[in-house]
A and B are shown apart, each in its own frame.
Chain A
Amino acid sequence: MAYVAVKGGERAIDNAHAWLAEARRGNPDVPDLALDQIQQQMGRAVDRVMAEGSLYDPELAALAIKQAQGDLIEAAFLLRAYRTTLPRFGYAAPVDTAAMALRRRISAVYKDLPGGQLLGPTYDYTHRLLDFLLAAGATPPAAAEAAEPAEAMPRVADILAREGLIETHTDSGAEPGDLTREPLAFPAGRDIRLQALARGDEGFLLAMGYSTQRGWGGSHPFVGELRVGEVTVEITPPELGFTIDIGDITLTECALVNQFKGSKTVPPQFTSGYGLTFGHAERKAMGMALVDRAMRAEELGEDATAPAQNIEFVLYHSDNIEGTGFVEHLKLPHYVDFQSELEAIRRMREEQK
């Protein structure tokens, strides 16, 4: 039979992209999804994409979600690829989460504390019953509003620290590393580890954090505090020489209180794990804090035997853009290598006869 060498990769790609665009749009009788609808009504998806995409821009995240048909890892990838092309104008000062404009703040270690418990917009106590009124497009009743906005509240870690009960950290003055500029190297400092976790996959952090609770590197965690709200981002442009406020971003911060460290000479203190993410992302921040604490095992003189305590294992596998790339690349043609395997296995079988 006649054989025609496979040609037409270009046409196949063009056709595939056209079909993809059509599938993304869906039935044209249904109204096109607007970016502000995604931004307003799929906020948690937008937040996740900003966190894993390492770029705080709700509008672009909404576009990425639309372009990726709601595939959030694909959307985070779109943001990452865009982010790489952006020039860096400067570096912000560390944000002050103690001054956060809070919409939610809870502590599991005190019944009440200065500022109180602020439940905020949480799913925690909803009954997970599908809401058919929502399907029918019902408008929710207005939520009650406080007479005045919540005041800045002290962080629980600071309350414990006043009594010397929890470890404190001082600024070493060293420039924090940046994984997006310099490749990962070991030993990896906590700055690099936290950056990797903040960009890391929520599902991965959830599973690794969960594993520590089930005995694979347990650290006896309490949620010292979980807070969600807006913080101000400030930069000091060299041409101005003074600090300016460039806007607010939403952050979720989780501070764990974990079991003690101490010695004959140093009185015992609680240790801590820390999680901080863009947007409202409690599961991610908590997973991050559990894994951060687990990775400190060696530093705190504990046995490091569980997967979550293995820094190299966690850091090399937390990034879902890297992970999805390498897993999915198996779809690319590998027939040249497979041919060499075919020849090898045929030769081995022949020689064994």
Chain B
Amino acid sequence: MTTISGYNFAYLDEQTKRMIRRALLKAVAIPGHQIPFGSREMPLPYGWGTGGIQITAAILGAADVLKVIDQGADDTTNAVSIRRFFAKTAGVATTTRTDAATVIQTRHRIPEAPLTANQILVYQVPQPEPLVKLEPSRAETRRMHALAEYGAMHVRLYEDITRFGQVAISYDYPVMVNDRYLMAPSPIPAFDNPKLHQMPALQLFGAGREKRIYAIPPYTNVRSLDFEDHPFRAGRAPHACGLCGSDTSYLDEVVVDNEGGRLFVCSDTDYCETRRDAGHAGDAA
């Protein structure tokens, strides 16, 4: 694919990339801590992944192979749009295969296949502040993080248990990183939270509109908040994938008719295709 003329490699100028890399280094040095950065206005709107896009632009090299997913799928419109953006501005190779990618930019999912130490996972983050629903002032939440004052979040979880019998957070479930910082894992389903822990791949989080970057370095402890008598648990739809038969993957629920018919299929499209290519088949295949 030919690249667009008049713009630097991967769109951002080199000084901006250096600024972002400095923020990334700081983020890796203080796992889970939000680093303010001079987020730029991108040619895609805030909320469409400008934070993730700026990180990807700052770390991408000509030899990288990029995969972009949204909701676990490579062919959702926004994933297509971001993949095209980098194909156009950086001319890098793109792939839909998780194991072939060196950089994976994601919105709302972690791939099913385990990632390796040679890969970087870049998350798009709408709201980096895990305490935001408890305290809207960022001046105040900064202070709470500095003092590791996270009691309010435990109270919130406790209130859920008293009202609903369980913690009622099903996505963007708060985690403690390296036993120090409370962190929003971005709106991934709580199902994906265990994958954050001790992941061999570097995990980078970019919030463009809120102008924050944070990171989980490889092999870092990440614990989903819970109580001894109410351990963390995360659900998936209790079905097997209709296409590949997987009974461990995270599933999308597709409404197929007006009579309440449902089909459950893998949200991770590459995982599902790989299994089908290997001969697995579900009930609807």
Do A and B form a real pair? yes
Chain A: residues with CB nearer than 8 A to chain B? 1-3, 5-10, 12-13, 77, 80-81, 83-85, 87, 180-187, 312, 316, 321-322, 324-330, 332-337, 339-344, 347-348, 351-352
Chain B residues with a Cβ closer than 8 Å to the other chain, count: 68
Most buried by B among A77, A184, A333: A333
B253 touches A84 (CB 8 A): no
With A332-B70, A340-B190 as contacts: A9 and B79 at CB distance below 8 Å: yes
Q: Which residues of A contact B187 (CB under 8 A)?
A: 334, 337
B126 touches A336 (CB 8 A): no
Chain A binding surface SS class: helix
B38 touches A332 (CB 8 A): no
Nearest CB in chain B: distance from A95 CB, A: 24
Provide 13 A-B residue pairs closer than 8 Å at the C-beta atoms, listed in order of the A residue: A3-B254, A3-B256, A5-B243, A185-B36, A186-B139, A324-B46, A325-B46, A336-B109, A336-B171, A336-B188, A337-B187, A341-B170, A351-B165
B12-38 vs A, Cβ < 8 Å mask (1 yes, 0 no): 010000000000000000000000111
B165 touches A1 (CB 8 A): no
Which of A312, A325, A339 has a CB less than 8 Å from the CB of B253? A339
* B223 interface residue per 8 A CB criterion: no
B267 touches A348 (CB 8 A): no
Nearest CB in chain A: distance from B90 CB, A: 15
The 10 closest A-B pairs by CB, nearest first: A329-B47, A325-B46, A183-B211, A340-B170, A340-B189, A9-B80, A344-B170, A325-B45, A337-B171, A325-B47
B101-113 vs A, Cβ < 8 Å mask (1 yes, 0 no): 0000001110000
Q: Which residues of A contact B48 (CB under 8 A)?
A: 325, 329, 332
* B158 interface residue per 8 A CB criterion: no
Cα of A312 to Cα of B137 in the assembled complex, Å: 7
Chain B: residues with CB nearer than 8 A to chain A? 7, 13, 36-43, 45-48, 50, 70-72, 75-81, 84, 107-109, 126, 137-139, 164-166, 168, 170-172, 187-191, 209, 211-212, 234-237, 242-243, 250-254, 256-257, 261, 263, 265, 267, 269, 272, 284
Closest to B190 in A: A340
Cα of A332 to Cα of B44 in the assembled complex, Å: 13
With A9-B75, A182-B38, A328-B47 as contacts: A336 and B252 at CB distance below 8 Å: yes
Cα of A322 to Cα of B207 in the assembled complex, Å: 12
Given contact pairs A312-B138, A325-B47, enumerate 12 new A-B contacts (beta carbons under 8 Å).
A10-B75, A13-B80, A180-B40, A181-B38, A183-B39, A184-B211, A321-B46, A333-B70, A336-B72, A339-B189, A340-B235, A348-B168
